[in-house]
Structure 1
Amino acid sequence: MTALGDLIGIDDRTVLVLGRELDFAHDQPDVGNALVHRAGDTLVLVDTGVTTAFRAALRTAADRVGPWSRVLVLTTHGHPDHVGNNDLADELADELGVPAEHYVPARDLDQMRDPDSYWARSFERIAWAAPLPAPALAARVVSLFTPMRPFAATTRTYEERPLELIRTGSHRFTGWTFADGAVRVLRSQGHCAGHVIVHLRDCGVLHLSDEGNGACGAMYDADQLKIQTVLGAVAGLFEEGEAAILTDGHTFALRRGAEAVSHLDGLLEQATALQEAALGLTGGGGPIVPSAFAARYAQAMTELGVGGANPNPVFTAMMALNALGELGLRPEPAAEADAPWSRPALHRPHSTDPHRPGDSGAESGAAPGETV
């Protein structure tokens, strides 16, 4: 049984600090796992979670992996369960009089500045599944994550640095390197718009953060193709021995070698099985009512044994809408959140040019002047 702030030692300079699950009914925010690592003389924090208890655990881990004379805080994405203690970069640096840096994804800046609007935008799409109106539910959720200090005096965006081509084995990524290449920040952008993953070269840890939160992303800015692409690329790193230990934002364990590959393959298999199930639920050809589809989609998830971080009806409904979008359906113009979705009509372009699709000769397969 794990508890918030438990430390899992990976080696003498790397510690995984464990978060916890969301318990909305008891006003308990979820907390994303964080990594604390020393690369040479640099203390590296990958995410900072939230709550004062987690902050204390980060400080304990920082003492354990010392000594260090620089501080580098890397934010994987802007969700509140990962950014609440980001000002720890300043605190640690000021106490020892050492330089500090903190980097965040540029595409997540808006949600970090105004999390209420970000979450309201996600919740308003599934008003029929939400226990409160979207603005009220967003404010209620965000209020759980305290204290919230997502910015430090040294905060900059990754994108202010020159983008690098990072070669790891046979794989190619774009991103940024730190500590003479020992810390690699790789762009992924699947779980949300700005998401990155982090590879700690010397200890072989690949931190997936929230890209592995189940078979289908839930947020409105999730990209299913990017999620699946990064899962496959990371599996390749483990198969080639370029990474040795897989960690993520919400699984309270380490996965090594073949176990990591099996886990990643399992997520991809779940994604394909869930897409097949969703396709079967939309196969009638008529408009799809989101609330009815979401109920059947949730049943399919149960039957397939597909889960993810923080499973609940609200997040499942958000996943269901993303699944409809991935299948090519779009909401019909209407004011109601539960308005039907359907596939856009396919219209053949009108043309009087006999050489272009749309004229009778082209449709029959005959060239001008020919008969078939």
Structure 2
Amino acid sequence: MTALGELIGIDERTVLVLGQELDVGRGQPDVGNALVHRAGETLVVVDTGVTETFRAALREAVDRIGPWSRALFLTTHGHPDHVGNNDLADGLGVPVEHWVPAPDLDQMRDPDAYWVRSFERVEGMAPLPAPALAGPALVSLFRPYRPFGATTRTYEERPLERIRIGSARFTGWTFADGAVRVLRSQGHCAGHVIVHLRDCGVLHLSDEGNGACGAMADADQLKIQTALGAVALLFEEGEAALLTDGHTFAVRRGAEVVVPFLDGLLEQAAALQSAALELTRGDGPVRPSAFTARYAEAFAGLGGGGANPNAMFTAMMAVNQLHELGLRPESADADAPWFRPALQRGD
């Protein structure tokens, strides 16, 4: 068993700080893992988690990998379990840059609205209170919540770069003379990025690997799968050696470990889509609550889990799967039936 804030040393200048799973019943927020690295004299902090306990662990990791004379804070995406301690950048006493994705600014400023919208999509499909209550109740677990600091700016204020790593091609931004590469992925949510640390061979997937199907309202299934395939290629070609992420409490080492893991997620995505298709065959309506229950059984049967598995996220995944199959709700009412739109033929 791991503990919140446990440090895993990757090498003498790189540490993974472990988070924890979500447990709403116990009032426990999930906390995304953070990566702390030194590139030359630059301290690199990828995500900052949330809670005072995690903040103290981050500071311990920061001190462990010194010395450094400047700092670079990188936010992979705007969910509260990854940004709560971003103001830590303000107290280091050295020149600091902090970069966040522009598409996630709205949810970082107003996380209540983001989660209310997410829960409105699954009203009647999961055992949740009214979305207007469930959203703020969830967000209230993430304290302190300090997503911005004095130096916060958006990646998109920098010129977009074409980045080639081996035979893979990305767009994104480089830092520390190319030792740190921020690669746009935008699958788990609208602004998501992944981070490649060139000198130690670490690829930080953050939340792009949180299961075979994205749950958030702004998730993009194709981008998730494209990111997983591109990352697998980096390991096959030896351009990356170690995989870390936001919610798996371990370091995966070597292509022989990482590639089967990534391929497994892609295989699950295809199998889950096939299972969902079988559940929606026919011309009749699909009741989302009934679909979600059967979808959860199929998901469990495929060995699916992902980060923080629970009924809430399963229902969110189910809605995304219905959209991906081309179905649309009859109305905005809770648990309204979904149909495949009729196709009009011209004369």
Residue aligning to 1:50: 50
Structure 1: segments with no counterpart, 5+ residues: 350-357, 359-372
Query: Which residue identity is paired with 1:198?
Result: V
Distance 1:300 1:285 in 2: 21
Distance 2:334 2:171 in 1: 38
Residue by residue, what CA displacement relative to the aligned partner does 1:61-83 show, whole Å, maximum 9, x if unpaired?
A: 11111100001100000000000
The answer to whether residue 13 in structure 2 is matched with residue 17 in structure 1 is: no
Residue 119 of structure 2 aligns to a residue whose secondary structure is helix
Residue aligning to 1:33: 33
Distance 1:90 1:33 in 2: 20
The answer to whether residue 169 in structure 2 is matched with residue 175 in structure 1 is: no
The answer to whether residue 167 in structure 2 is matched with residue 149 in structure 1 is: no
Residue 150 of structure 1 aligns to a residue whose secondary structure is coil
Residue by residue, what CA displacement relative to the aligned partner does 1:201-234 show, whole Å, maximum 9, x if unpaired?
A: 0000000000000000001000000000000000
What is the correspondence of 1:1-372 to structure 2 with a 5 Å cutoff? 1-92=1-92, 94=93, 98-128=94-124, 129-257=126-254, 258-332=256-330, 334-349=331-346, 358=347
Residue 265 of structure 2 aligns to a residue whose secondary structure is helix
Task: Quote the offset at 1:286 in angstroms.
Answer: 1.5
Query: Which residue identity is paired with 1:91?
Result: G
Compute the RMSD of aligned alpha carbons.
0.7
Query: Which residue identity is paired with 2:333?
Result: E
Distance 2:289 2:28 in 1: 27
Task: Quote the offset at 1:284 in angstroms.
Answer: 1.8
Distance 2:115 2:128 in 1: 14
Distance 1:133 1:307 in 2: 26
Residue 238 of structure 1 aligns to a residue whose secondary structure is helix
Query: Which residue identity is paired with 1:255?
Result: R
**Deviating runs (4+, > 4 A) in structure 1?**
none
Distance 1:104 1:337 in 2: 34
Distance 1:212 1:29 in 2: 19
Task: Quote the offset at 1:339 in angstroms.
Answer: 0.9
Residue 86 of structure 2 aligns to a residue whose secondary structure is coil
Query: Which residue identity is paired with 1:114?
Result: D
Distance 1:169 1:343 in 2: 42
Task: Quote the offset at 1:131 in angstroms.
Answer: 2.1
Residue by residue, what CA displacement relative to the aligned partner does 1:112-155 show, whole Å, maximum 9, x if unpaired?
A: 00000000000011111242100100111000000000000000
Query: Which residue identity is paired with 2:201?
Result: G
Distance 1:312 1:113 in 2: 26
Structure 2: segments with no counterpart, 5+ residues: none
Task: Quote the offset at 1:343 in angstroms.
Answer: 1.1
| Structure with the greater alpha carbon radius of gyration | 1
Distance 2:336 2:186 in 1: 29
Distance 1:39 1:21 in 2: 30
Mapped contact 1:42–1:179 kept (Cα < 8 A): yes
Distance 2:83 2:241 in 1: 26
Query: Which residue identity is paired with 1:125?
Result: R
Task: Quote the offset at 1:104 in angstroms.
Answer: 0.4
Task: Quote the offset at 1:298 in angstroms.
Answer: 0.5
Distance 2:308 2:132 in 1: 20
Q: Give the number of the structure with larger relative contact order, counting CA–CA contacts within 8 Å between residues 6 or more apart.
A: 2
Residue 174 of structure 1 aligns to a residue whose secondary structure is strand
Mapped contact 1:29–1:145 kept (Cα < 8 A): yes
Mapped contact 1:123–1:130 kept (Cα < 8 A): no
Query: Which residue identity is paired with 1:327?
Result: L
Number of residue-to-residue matches in the alignment: 345
Distance 2:122 2:58 in 1: 36
Residue 72 of structure 2 aligns to a residue whose secondary structure is strand
Task: Quote the offset at 1:335 in angstroms.
Answer: 3.7
Distance 1:158 1:37 in 2: 19
Query: Which residue identity is paired with 1:119?
Result: W
Residue 347 of structure 1 aligns to a residue whose secondary structure is coil
Residue by residue, what CA displacement relative to the aligned partner does 1:268-326 show, whole Å, maximum 9, x if unpaired?
A: 01111100100000112211111110011001111111111111111101100000011
Residue by residue, what CA displacement relative to the aligned partner does 1:231-263 show, whole Å, maximum 9, x if unpaired?
A: 000000000000000000000011112101110
Residue by residue, what CA displacement relative to the aligned partner does 1:84-131 show, whole Å, maximum 9, x if unpaired?
A: 000011111x3xxx2101000000000000000000000011111242
Task: Quote the offset at 1:196 in angstroms.
Answer: 0.3
